[in-house]
Structure 1
Amino acid sequence: MMWICMGVLLLWVGSRGHAESHLVQFSPADFYNKLEAGKIMLVFFQRQACPTVSLFLAELEKSAVVLQDYGILVGKLSCNEQPVTRYCTEERLRHRAFLFRSGKEFLSFDLDTLFDVNSIVSEVLFAILREEVKYVHTDTDLMIMEKGAKGKKDIVLGYVLSLGTQEHRSFMETAYAYGSKYQFILITGGPVLKYLGAESLERSRVWFLHCRLHGSSKTPLNSERCPLTTMPKPLTTLNLHSFLQLMESPLVTEVYDDPSSVQPPPVPYQQTPQVFLFSRPATAHLDRDTAASLAWKLRGLALTLLVHRESPSVKIPEKYNAAYRLPAKSSDVKYVTLHDLDEVLELLERLEDEEVVVEDEEGASEDNEFERFIHVHELDDEVAAALFEKRTTLLDKESVGQLTSDNFHDAVAQSSLTVALFYFQWDAVSMTVLESFIDVAKRLADSEVQMSVVDCGEWTHLCAARPVNSVPVPFQPISSFPTILLLRPQGPAQPYGGLLDAEALHRFITLSQRPAPALLSSQEEVSSFLQEVPQPGLRGYKPHRSLGLFHTRAQASVSLFAEAARSLRGEVLTGLLTDDLAQKWAALHAVQLPAVLVFPSWRTHSHPSALPVPSSAPQLVADVSAALLHPMPELTVENLPSFLSLGKALLMLFVGEEEDAAGFSQNRALLREMKTVVELGRSSMGQYLASWVHLGRTPAAMSVLGSYLGSMPPLPALVLTHLPSGDEVYQFPPNAPIVAPSVLQWLQRVEAGIEKPAGMLGSDSWPAPTEFLDFLKIMDAEEEELVDEEKEKERAKEEVMEEDEAHSSSSEHVPEKKATVHSEL
């Protein structure tokens, strides 16, 4: 009955939303009237219907509701009814949307950049606010902005991983609301992050630069740069609004009441902890300075209050010198005795970590970072177009070395790690990856890593893996481009198979620099090895880890483990334990030596997977890789290839972005139900990979889902695809509740051939753009052909001359007439 009522409610909401559509259906006359009136309009000129356009129009409908609050009309115009000159006739404009302002075309957007409501809203606001929201590329540019803002405006500096995301939209919407109060600056990476000490951020971030009161007693330093505060929470519109309000709060609030009587923070600070310090009349001035110093450290994390003990209302025992109250818990105040101000920061961080662990134990995903996405629609054409647009930009290759057939062995021998990119200058994908490769080289400029490139159009013998100076090269012929190899002296090459973007490559290289395996000889070293952050440059990233437990280092299986560890470099951190320490860890986890403990990044360190040591290193690598796979993973662009390689059918649950607490609870309940499917199905589920996709964190999956079913279905959607037996795509009935018994029965009907497929996988293939061409070999062959032709001509000429001499010698014995005939011939 509940589901029937919910279905009726959804139908009513859907019909109501359709009746109150904010997407304007322009006629040519309406369009020109609004254009002459100077309205700001986002218009799509529709020619024909297709799945891609249908998905776009659905998102455009959503964006119309949002953009109307900013005075922007959003609509479409059908070119089939009455075409508009230029916009309906030019073929190259058929996949673009146009922004009009002040009676003329202001900007156009390719539909591939407007893939959901977040990208539409963010890109349109970014275009309109291009004069208000500054974009800086270097630290010098930021310094100039700070000098101009001193004493006038504070600066809100935002870093987003990718344009067109939810974070980008949140930043632009906030800039629209607060643009007159603050100076907003946007960055997407580069040297500015180095100044901020955040070169390897894994998520978007916001900083508040205190420039308006710079140099006053309310700021901690009187330097040339504005003091900055980092927003600790994820970049959402609500979090950013609360953060800006928090930046306007008093630095220190002095109270004369007992902390238990002080009211919890009001809106919009209700989610902010309170920290209480205590003051005495004799040290009031020093106590105020101490409170101000701590308040600057806690800026954005907590509100600082200074409690005066001389007040009769304050009855706190003398042994306590600080207290705190956490939000969303209770109004209870906890009293503590601290010996250093930094202990307050450690206390808040520890309490925050404990809260996260509790949420994880309740079933929340341990990895809530926003996944970087790639919109893979017509990849080759898009990359080629992007490369063409930047054809005049010269890449700075000074940070990378050039490997050739002449210097290859010497260059590899001189560095402990050489990362080589094999590429073609005329290949669009190669040149795009080269740009990311140079970015990573600049980040690693101060390290021992040598970043090098090989132009396979010039050094074809090297790319074909032919011996250099009679010495073999440590890799097989390069057959696809671009290819990245990690090279070490006297060792085989290690291929890089991850995403070809700067962040993923930088992370892989950084992890590859760690010893494989690391020799751990004490409990302290093991504890340090299992910490979340392995070293600077990987802040926020939690890598996989593995421990090998052996009786002694001389044990035969140790070399097997070491070989497997070297193969796993860059993906898994490996450690080696022997003797008493190994015995202790084996007893702790109830395993027999030798054994391997695997600590996946998604699991706590107290519950590793225990594996026996097989008879070969490749088998151990395969066993460790299998143990790292999540039993019900969240599919992303980055990890999808590894799961497809398993050859299992994908049972994918597509969920939307949580708009409120109810949506979050619904998604949590759906994930628990899918886990129940796996548990109840047991052995029958071995042929399926149960997984889920969050369309908010992986927007590219929207196009995938639409292509599976021909149109965008209502969410949540449960889809079965990539079956080993065929290309069929099955959808769980959209109007049925997703509960474990029903899902298992549906899978049985699919196996029995009772269910009809809802779609088919596309037959498009993505072969390598070109085969490897050995240009020098081709040139040599052509030269040999020319030489052979010349020799043939020489032989023919000699034969003719010999015949002439023979006939000349015999001409004395033939009539003159015959000689004349011969000369004519």
Structure 2
Amino acid sequence: MWCSCCYALILLLWTSSGGCTGKANMSELIQVTSADFYEKLHSGKMMFIYFELQVRCLPVSPSLALFLVELEKSAEALKDYGVLVGKVLNCNREHVHMYCTDHRRAHTAFLFRGGKEFSGFDLDTVFDVNSIVSEVLFAVLRDEVKYVHTDADLVALEKSCRGRKDMVLGYVSSLGSPEHRSMMESAYVYGSKYQFILITGGPVLKHLGVNDASFSSRVWFLHCRLNDGVAVSPRCPLTLMKKHLSTLSLHSFLQLMEAPLVSEVYDDPPLVPPPQFPYQNTPQVFLFAHPATAHLDRDTASALAWNLRGVALVLLVHSRRSAAQTEYNAAYRRPEESLEVKYLTLHSLDELLQLFKDEGQEDEEEEDEEEEGSHHESLDDEISAYVHDKRGEVPDMDSITEITSDNLLTVVSQNPLTVALFYLKWDAVSLTVLSSFIHVAHRLEDLEVDHVLMGAVDCGEWSDLCAHVTSQPITTFPCVLLLRHHQPAQEYRGMLGSEALHRFIMMSVSAAPLLLSTTDSVVSFLQGALVAHRVLGLFLSHTHSDVSVFTEASETLRGDVLTGLLTPQLALTWAADHHVDPPVVLVFPSWRPLSSSSLSISSSADELLESIRAALHPPLPEVTVESLPLLLSQGKAFLMLFLGEDEDAVGQKQNELLLEEMLALVERGAEKMEPYLSCWIHLGHTPAAGDVLAALLGMPPPPLPALVLSHIPSRNEVYQFPPSRHVSASAVLQWLQSVEEGAELPAGMLAEDSWPPAGGFYDFLKVMDSQENISSLEEEEEDDEDEEEKVDVREHLVSKETTDDKRPDTHWEL
């Protein structure tokens, strides 16, 4: 069992070995002694302190260890706001009255201000650097930042600020989130200038026209000071910040709110200088004024400016009528494009509003010009675009064998293993996989693997072969089959990239099971170069019926798992060394290669297969492109932890602690966790994780880590574990119970996509034969004679007997 001293030693080794380099957060975290605490307390400085009460030889909980990591990261951030962050390392030695004597305070961090305790924070509410900074600043600014619950509260604040101060209203989905931190940091800087208001939902959103169930964090600017040209109304005018809430975007937005509503200039637009700091990245919109209608033009410009507030700067141009002004009535300039001014003829202001409805959006006319002749806009993703570009390009096939109905039997009988790709020449995906297939052939040739023949079948030309090589016609292309003489055809169901296919072939070359007769051969088998699952069968006699069960299971696992069969004498020795009783099967998973689990021999190969696959399945699998199909096939609800990239040792430690907590959840939940597949996905390993999370929640991806429940059988709802709560085994179990009872609201819905085959099997030869039959009776007789001379593949296919009603993966033998 881990003890606190062991954890401290590991943390010390981790930091000394490079865990903190450069300007690290550890340098800002102060280690407080009893004397230091009282000295700093009476110095008047604000302090955020955790009193760590260590109990000898009791483990440090993952949640506490994670908090300590985040405490280090928050020290530098809070230093900018005059808050010292530290901890009393060991209350057993550094006795601080009232804080080191109460075990209940071990789950609380404290903020001290003005020489006394100011506020306490439960560790569940300050679980990461964002929540620590936001909660501390929220406590410090609690008299300045107002938290409103109802629209009446907001009306009262608007009345109190009318004519003297503008207001900044922020909606955050939860306290302690990065958006909450951005609001508090901005309030700390601009609090004396604006009245900051915070809401987390409720009736106030109805006034804003928002459905809080589907709205992400946003900010509104309430113009409550008297503005020239703006009629006084019962409510302050609102301006919504279009960008996602962050400290930088809010800073830029507030600067734009200080810009003049309408600027009047007396030069033509090309001569007007571009916006200066801090508006240098803001587009300019020019409206042309006429002497006879100057007053109305000002009103029009003001109305447009209110609609473009925070998006563009509006300028009213008073200059002599140039050629441009005679033909056009408006113009605009985007600083990110160039200093070029583009002129427009507008029939209504709505046209201009549509143009600038999204800041930074490209001009629609330019988009049409750029995309003219391009087909990629209709393609789903980068893969579709790639295969679209590669359509019609048939690669050089000299390194592989063309398989036809005429040579199939010869090819298979003369080679221990034939790997056949069934493809369509006009299908872009088939041709892309064909290139990978040829690449694998080159690699096998370089490795001098001469007992594997790589071949391809063009199903557009040899449709009879593609229709009868297995029990059902091949209708999904491309398709890869492994063919052995007098053995069932084996379909490859893995990824069609060159790496995955090459790995599968190399694992299929060995016998299944491989007979092992010496200790050295067993060691070589277990320590092979391939990172793969391995299974050993230990039997005292190879004539026993249990061996046939193991052999049949090994054949099914071929390509995915390496299997070995020890000779009886060696099995007896090996069993004694590993304290097992034969007959027994030892399973060595790739994710835990140095240890094994033992399985009893089942009565059937199917039962043994199920036991082996269960033993190979990790308790907390990682979701990758390769593993996803297998994980989905289990039919369980996904409880998936999304982890961010390990930017430094601190981030890596945080991810490790979260994974430990998820493992504890699986172990502690036991039967309660049976309906769920607990897993994790890492943004650094699988960059698409962010897009997956956004698709599940139907919104921009939230900050990581994030815990999501999805793919619930017979249900399409997606649930997100509250970001404001720390991911712990007990908290997640409680949350899952609430989901089951219907007490939690879904955060998104899964799309009901169906991906059937593009079409049924099309027998081109049969159609051609039918056309020839209609054309001439004489040709029909000649065709019949020719058909009798042809080799019927089905005559050389033997039906494999099955003992159950389940359709086997491969039905026919050559």
Question: TM-score of the superposition, structure 1-length normalised?
Answer: 0.52
Q: 1:437 to 1:424 in 2, by over 3 A?
A: same
Aligned counterpart for 1:16 among listed residues 243, 247, 252: 247
Unaligned 5+ residue runs, structure 1? 38-47, 49-75, 97-109, 113-376, 466-472, 535-541, 792-825
Aligned counterpart for 2:576 among listed residues 584, 587, 590: 587
Structure 1 residue matching 2:534: 3-state secondary structure: strand
Structure of higher RCO (CA pairs closer than 8 Å, 6+ residues apart): 2
Distance 1:401 1:788 in 2: 38
Per-residue deviation at 1:626?
A: 2.0
1:255-281 alpha-carbon deviations (Å, 9 max, x no partner): xxxxxxxxxxxxxxxxxxxxxxxxxxx
Note if contact 1:79-1:88 (Cα within 8 Å) is conserved in structure 2: no
Residue of structure 1 equivalent to 2:769: 780
Q: 1:417 to 1:789 in 2, by over 3 A?
A: closer
Distance 1:779 1:497 in 2: 32
Note if contact 1:88-1:94 (Cα within 8 Å) is conserved in structure 2: no
Per-residue deviation at 1:384?
A: 5.1
Q: What value does the CA root-mean-square deviation take over the aligned residues?
A: 3.3
Matching of residue 675 in structure 1 with residue 677 in structure 2: no
1:146-196 alpha-carbon deviations (Å, 9 max, x no partner): xxxxxxxxxxxxxxxxxxxxxxxxxxxxxxxxxxxxxxxxxxxxxxxxxxx
Matched letter for residue 16 of structure 1 = T
Q: 1:378 to 1:83 in 2, by over 3 A?
A: closer
Per-residue deviation at 1:93?
A: 7.6
Matched letter for residue 691 of structure 2 = S
Distance 1:753 1:79 in 2: 38
1:406-434 alpha-carbon deviations (Å, 9 max, x no partner): 10000111111110000111222111111
Q: How does 1:239-258 map to 2 (within 5 A)?
A: none
Distance 1:397 1:95 in 2: 30
Distance 2:358 2:677 in 1: 45
Matching of residue 768 in structure 1 with residue 757 in structure 2: yes
Q: 1:476 to 1:595 in 2, by over 3 A?
A: farther
Structure 2 residue matching 1:591: 3-state secondary structure: coil
Note if contact 1:730-1:758 (Cα within 8 Å) is conserved in structure 2: yes
1:617-657 alpha-carbon deviations (Å, 9 max, x no partner): 23322322222111111110100110110111110000100
Unaligned 5+ residue runs, structure 2? 1-120, 134-177, 183-244, 253-277, 286-331, 341-350, 781-814
Residue of structure 2 equivalent to 1:404: 404
Matched letter for residue 454 of structure 1 = V
Note if contact 1:732-1:743 (Cα within 8 Å) is conserved in structure 2: yes
Distance 1:494 1:740 in 2: 42
Structure 1 residue matching 2:624: 3-state secondary structure: coil
Distance 1:476 1:399 in 2: 29
Per-residue deviation at 1:789?
A: 14
Distance 1:454 1:504 in 2: 21
Structure 2 residue matching 1:464: 3-state secondary structure: helix
Q: 1:721 to 1:638 in 2, by over 3 A?
A: same
Residue of structure 2 equivalent to 1:453: 456
Per-residue deviation at 1:111?
A: 9.8
Residue of structure 2 equivalent to 1:752: 741
Q: 1:392 to 1:790 in 2, by over 3 A?
A: closer
Distance 1:776 1:634 in 2: 46
Once structures 1 and 2 are overlaid, which stretch shifts more, 405-414 or 558-567? 558-567
Residue of structure 1 equivalent to 2:605: 617
Matched letter for residue 698 of structure 1 = T
Note if contact 2:473-2:761 (Cα within 8 Å) is conserved in structure 1: no
Residue of structure 1 equivalent to 2:721: 732
Q: How does 1:608-757 map to 2 (within 5 A)?
A: 608-711=596-699, 712-757=701-746
Q: 1:770 to 1:24 in 2, by over 3 A?
A: farther
Question: TM-score of the superposition, structure 2-length normalised?
Answer: 0.53
Per-residue deviation at 1:599?
A: 0.5
Per-residue deviation at 1:772?
A: 1.7
Per-residue deviation at 1:19?
A: 3.7
Per-residue deviation at 1:393?
A: 4.3
Residue of structure 1 equivalent to 2:324: none
Per-residue deviation at 1:593?
A: 1.8
Distance 2:508 2:712 in 1: 35
Structure 2 residue matching 1:747: 3-state secondary structure: helix
Q: How does 1:491-530 map to 2 (within 5 A)?
A: 491-530=487-526
Q: 1:785 to 1:513 in 2, by over 3 A?
A: same
Note if contact 1:383-1:432 (Cα within 8 Å) is conserved in structure 2: no
Per-residue deviation at 1:783?
A: 3.5
Structure 1 residue matching 2:500: 3-state secondary structure: helix
Aligned counterpart for 2:363 among listed residues 84, 88, 92: 84
Distance 1:85 1:614 in 2: 67
1:14-38 alpha-carbon deviations (Å, 9 max, x no partner): 742334579955558554686369x
Q: 1:599 to 1:552 in 2, by over 3 A?
A: same
Per-residue deviation at 1:397?
A: 0.4
Matching of residue 602 in structure 1 with residue 604 in structure 2: no
Per-residue deviation at 1:672?
A: 0.9
Per-residue deviation at 1:498?
A: 0.6
Residue of structure 2 equivalent to 1:35: 338
Distance 2:360 2:473 in 1: 57
Matched letter for residue 409 of structure 1 = L
Aligned residue pairs: how many? 461
Matching of residue 577 in structure 1 with residue 563 in structure 2: no
Per-residue deviation at 1:544?
A: 0.7
Q: How does 1:457-472 map to 2 (within 5 A)?
A: 457-465=460-468
Note if contact 1:517-1:575 (Cα within 8 Å) is conserved in structure 2: yes
1:687-739 alpha-carbon deviations (Å, 9 max, x no partner): 11111110121111221110111121121111111111311111111111111
Structure 2 residue matching 1:422: 3-state secondary structure: strand
Distance 1:27 1:617 in 2: 74
1:274-312 alpha-carbon deviations (Å, 9 max, x no partner): xxxxxxxxxxxxxxxxxxxxxxxxxxxxxxxxxxxxxxx
Per-residue deviation at 1:3?
A: 4.8
Note if contact 1:653-1:717 (Cα within 8 Å) is conserved in structure 2: yes
Structure 1 residue matching 2:474: 3-state secondary structure: coil
Structure 2 residue matching 1:35: 3-state secondary structure: coil
Matched letter for residue 735 of structure 1 = S
Q: Using the aligned pairs only, state the percent identity.
A: 49
Note if contact 1:474-1:491 (Cα within 8 Å) is conserved in structure 2: no
1:769-820 alpha-carbon deviations (Å, 9 max, x no partner): 23221111122233444558999xxxxxxxxxxxxxxxxxxxxxxxxxxxxx
Per-residue deviation at 1:592?
A: 2.8
Distance 1:634 1:505 in 2: 21
